[in-house]
Structure 1
């Protein structure tokens, strides 16, 4: 696995936190806008949330290219989700021959092959936190 220095990891985590904060601010501002017809607002925000955090997952994956994710890891789960978003129309596709493929219903998010990938803020937070913990543990091992 390619190692990343802690400054790079910290900068990436900071960008993720900033993006999460911006999403929350925009969603709250839209909900607080009292003088507009907001009948379709929640549905629109839900669609935006899925698209936004699916795309954030792709950015997270691209920020840490690694040749080996390791079976059962959050890094492997992010790889499988990203690959499915890019190649399988947003439906989780798991190659049973891939030694790094997440177990059905396992991993951080518990998704199974065939499930749609529609990440919420909370799901993205869980998978990105687990992802960063793994990346940081690998970084700490390479530093020490």
Structure 2
């Protein structure tokens, strides 16, 4: 597929709704478990599962719009590029944040404030902030 300069409102809305549906399923599951089950092993398993699930949700965000072109996305440290850097690091650097040479990344200006070299562990709250910033930036730069 060729690079994309824009996306339709329907494409962005569909992706956002799909992401929200998956997060709601996670919230429902963890809420049900927390209300019915006690024990250190259960809570430890939930703590281990959360960053895996939300790390994969970052990959989902990136994949929906993977063909976005750099001329529109820019090379600055915006949330679109933060998602790209995190996704690349999760897939290709064993979950340790690394930069991408063509992108500027400043941890202090990023949504998650991760430093290069940090282990990526995205929480539910982190993902909520990152996905909201991602969709806002996507609409601002790519909405057809």
TM-score by length of 2: 0.88
Partner of 1:86: 91
Structure 2: unaligned runs, 5 residues or longer: none
**Equivalences for 1:6-85 in 2 at 5 Å?**
6-34=9-37, 38-65=39-66, 66-68=68-70, 69-70=73-74, 71-85=76-90
TM-superposed deviation, 1:138: 2.2
User: CA RMSD, aligned part only?
Assistant: 1.5
Number of aligned residue pairs: 137
CA distance in 2, matches of 1:107, 1:134: 13
CA distance in 2, matches of 1:2, 1:82: 21
CA distance in 1, matches of 2:56, 2:35: 25
TM-superposed deviation, 1:46: 1.1
TM-superposed deviation, 1:38: 2.2
TM-superposed deviation, 1:50: 0.5
TM-score by length of 1: 0.88
Moved over 4 A (4+): none
